[in-house]
């Protein structure tokens, strides 16, 4: 081996001077290859070392080594299941070396690498997975390699569309479906494209539960750090824990040294986490759920698979989370999903908080209140009662509040009155949750509260829209005010007029005291667009008093005033720009 390494170094330094020695080794390689094909299951360390030697020096003799990569690929593809594990990993390492040097294309080795995942060799699968992810990441580091990404996406789509190979009782999955999400997410580089989302959506209905779980984690964004475990990234965390345990032992001087070393390790971990987070923020800054082509069909098919209940509970829980997020984001109607969740709403249910989160995410204003009413009653009966533990009651009240925020019509006045009584409960966390519910209804529907719970200055006219009332506008709100001003000739076209652009940001209730600069000696009349409507405006062109509510502020585009002295805001910020 040492002689071969020296010969390898000499060939790299002077290819022409050592060509005869290389040709001798090359003929030796061809002879061993012919012998090895007769008995591929035989262990041959000599052949593996010679293959790696050829891979190292192949760049020095490109014409002679033209068919070398094809020979290794054919050998792996034909005898992958009977090869010695060490020799098989050596041959794969030779191909990876050629790929890293760009001597072989990605699509020439990628199909072979995926077929090699069938081998019962965990070390080989980890080696392949690390290379595939690193290769795609490197190909898109500087500029987006659209050609490679499109080819890989098409290959993955074909792979997922084909039926899975048979799985024996003694073997695991024959393809790395449990790692598919980490592989696919590397392709989701900016700008966002619907093709990876289409690929993941098609993989969600694969028969393998591992494929389903991998795709669900991809949609939830829980796969950003999964690949690090396969790449040995857990070594730093293990090392940190080791230092933390040792920092508690030893003498005072040794403890100080260990604690200082622990601080340095923790600083390194935090620094690497910041770097990895900033690097991946741009690549994964969007949700694949928004890019689904047909979310309604996707949700219905996914619920059909969920309702069959053939997967493990952890998988079903992940599917619930994805399905609820798809329903909430796209405001879909999958009405059977809510009664399905109802049977899981109980304090003793495993991971009940995740079930409640799925229920809240799936609720929106287009869901009929009568569909959510039984679920709301189940939630209150199981969680909010005097015999329940305080933490259970708190979770129940918070879930009710979040559900009401998304679908206000689901709450009845009688049920609200019962829940409000917990504002004086002996446990502070329960009382705080009840007060938060009261505060919510002060904003969305104060008329449902008792008079003592409404607070001062409650506007009883504020009510949620009726079910099905989307409030579709047929024209720009407030346009009639501009038409009225133009009809009366109040165009505000003076040269010394100033413009105030009133934006709609912030919560604004009153704005008053816009005063004209006194003593200016100007004979011009105030030129002000009249504001009227729900806010009780109507000050006209002669009055400077201006009272505008938040709704009207959103409807006003430009108000022209002659020399503004000051604008006093009573509540909330407002964007005021003077031109």
Q: CA-CA distance, 392 to 348, in Å (whole number)?
A: 10
Do the Cβ atoms of 509 and 570 come closer than 8 Å?
yes
Categorize the per-residue pLDDT at 320 as very low, low, confident or very high, splitting at 50, 70 and 90. very high
Mean model confidence pLDDT for the chain = 73
| Residues in the chain, total | 579
Provide the 3-class DSSP secondary structure of residue 129: helix
| pLDDT grade for 327, boundaries at 50, 70 and 90 | very high
Of residues 82, 90, 51, 85, the one with CA closest to residue 68: 51
Query: Residues with Cβ < 8 Å from 484, sequence gap 6 or more?
Result: 530
What number is the average pLDDT over the span 467-479? 75
What is the distance in angstroms between the CA of the first residue and the CA of the last residue of the chain?
A: 81
Tell me if 559 sits within 8 A of 529, measured CB to CB.
yes
pLDDT at 41: 83
What's the pLDDT at 465?
A: 74
Quickly state the pLDDT bin for 97 (edges 50, 70, 90).
very high
Q: Which residues pair with 35 in a beta bridge?
A: none
Predicted local confidence at residue 513, as pLDDT: 43
Cα(328)–Cα(358) distance, rounded to whole angstroms?
10
User: Binning pLDDT at 50, 70 and 90, where does residue 337 land?
Assistant: very high
d(C-alpha 8, C-alpha 18), whole Å: 10
Residue in 42, 29, 113, 32 with CA at minimum distance from that of residue 77: 113
Cα radius of gyration rounded to whole Å, the chain: 35
Q: What is the pTM of this model?
A: 0.60
Q: Which of 518, 409, 424, 423 is nearest to 465 (CA)?
A: 409
Beta bridge partners of 511: 569
Buried b (16+ CB within 10 A) or exposed e, 189-221: beebbebbbbbbbebbebebebbbbbbbbbbbe
Q: How far apart are CA 83 and CA 71, in angstroms?
A: 15
Rounded to an integer, the average pLDDT of 235-261 is 59
Q: What is the pLDDT of residue 506?
A: 40
**Both tokens assigned to 440:** 């919510």
- Strands 576-578, 558-562: parallel, antiparallel or unpaired by DSSP? unpaired
CA distance 57 to 5: 11
Percent of the chain with pLDDT over 70: 69
**15-63 residue pLDDT tens:** 888 899 989 999 999 999 899 888 888 878 888 899 999 999 988 898 8
Contact 322, 302 (CB under 8 A): yes
**Residue 96 vs residues 63, 69, 121, 125: alpha-carbon distances, Å:** 20, 10, 17, 13
Pick from 401, 406, 408, 454: nearest CA to 432: 401
Angstrom CA distances, 294 to 187, 194, 206, stand at 21, 11, 18
CA 36, CA 31: separation in Å to the nearest integer? 9
Give the tokens for residue 258. 């260990």
Residue 190, beta-bridge partner list: none
CB of 136 within 8 A of CB of 110?
no
Comparing CA positions, the residue from 458, 421, 466 lying closest to residue 441 is 458
pLDDT top residue among 333 and 157: 333
At residue 577, φ and ψ (nearest 5 deg) are -125, 120
Reply yes or no on whether the pLDDT at 70 is more than 60.
Answer: yes
d(CA 520, CA 563): 10
- Residue 501 φ/ψ, nearest 5 degrees: -95, 110
Asked if pLDDT for residue 281 goes beyond 60, the answer is no
Q: SS3 of 497, please?
A: strand
Euclidean distance between CA atoms 448 and 539, whole angstroms: 34
């Amino acid at each position: 081996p040492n002689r071969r390494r020296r010969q390898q170094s000499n060939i790299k330094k002077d290819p022409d001077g050592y060509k005869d020695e290389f040709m001798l080794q090359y003929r030796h390689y061809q002879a061993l290859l012919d012998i090895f094909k007769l008995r591929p299951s035989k262990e041959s360390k000599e052949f593996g070392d010679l293959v790696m030697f050829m891979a190292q020096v192949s760049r020095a003799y490109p014409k002679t080594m033209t068919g070398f990569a094809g020979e290794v690929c054919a050998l792996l593809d034909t005898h992958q299941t009977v090869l010695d594990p060490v020799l098989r990993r050596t041959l794969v390492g030779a191909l990876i070396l050629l790929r890293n040097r760009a001597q072989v294309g990605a699509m020439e080795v990628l199909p072979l690498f995926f077929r090699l995942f069938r081998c019962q060799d965990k070390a080989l699968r980890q080696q392949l997975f690390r290379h595939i992810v690193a290769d795609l990441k490197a190909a898109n580091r500087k500029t987006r390699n659209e050609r490679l990404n499109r080819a890989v996406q098409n290959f993955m789509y074909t792979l997922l569309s084909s039926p899975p190979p048979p799985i024996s009782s003694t073997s695991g999955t024959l393809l790395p479906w449990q790692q598919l999400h980490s592989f696919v997410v590397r392709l989701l580089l900016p700008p966002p494209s619907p093709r990876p989302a289409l690929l993941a959506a098609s993989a969600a209905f694969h028969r393998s539960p591992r494929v389903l779980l991998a795709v669900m984690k991809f949609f939830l964004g829980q796969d950003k750090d999964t690949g690090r475990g396969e790449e040995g990234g857990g070594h730093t965390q293990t090392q940190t824990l080791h230092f933390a345990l040792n920092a508690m032992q030893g003498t005072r001087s040794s403890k100080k040294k260990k604690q200082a070393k622990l601080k340095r390790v923790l600083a390194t971990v935090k620094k690497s986490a910041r770097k990895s987070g900033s690097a991946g923020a741009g690549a994964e800054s969007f949700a694949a759920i928004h890019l689904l082509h047909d979310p309604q069909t996707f949700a219905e098919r996914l619920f059909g698979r969920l309702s069959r209940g053939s997967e493990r509970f952890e998988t079903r829980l992940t599917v619930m989370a994805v399905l609820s997020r798809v329903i909430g984001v796209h405001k879909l109607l999958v009405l059977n999903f809510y009664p399905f969740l109802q049977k899981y709403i109980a304090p003793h249910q495993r991971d009940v908080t995740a079930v409640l989160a799925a229920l809240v995410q799936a609720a929106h204003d287009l869901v009929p209140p009568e569909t959510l009413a039984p679920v709301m009653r189940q939630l209150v009966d199981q969680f909010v009662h005097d015999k329940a533990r305080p933490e259970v009651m708190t979770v129940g009240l918070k879930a009710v509040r979040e559900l009401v925020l998304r679908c206000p019509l689901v709450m009845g006045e009688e049920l609200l009155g019962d829940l409000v009584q917990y504002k004086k409960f002996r446990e502070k966390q329960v009382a705080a949750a009840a007060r938060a519910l009261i505060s919510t209804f002060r904003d969305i529907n104060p008329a449902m509260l008792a008079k003592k719970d409404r607070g001062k200055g409650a506007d009883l006219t504020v009510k949620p829209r009726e079910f099905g009332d989307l409030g579709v506008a047929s024209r720009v709100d407030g346009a009639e005010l501009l038409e009225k001003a133009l009809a009366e000739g109040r165009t505000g076209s003076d040269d010394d007029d100033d413009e105030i652009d009133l934006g709609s940001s912030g919560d604004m209730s009153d704005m008053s005291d816009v005063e004209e600069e006194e003593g200016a000696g100007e004979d011009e009349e105030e030129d002000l667009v009249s504001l009227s409507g729900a806010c009780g405006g109507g000050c006209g062109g002669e009055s400077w008093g201006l009272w505008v509510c938040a709704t009207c502020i959103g409807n006003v585009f430009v108000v022209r005033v002659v020399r503004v002295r000051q604008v006093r805001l009573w509540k909330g910020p407002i964007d005021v720009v003077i031109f």
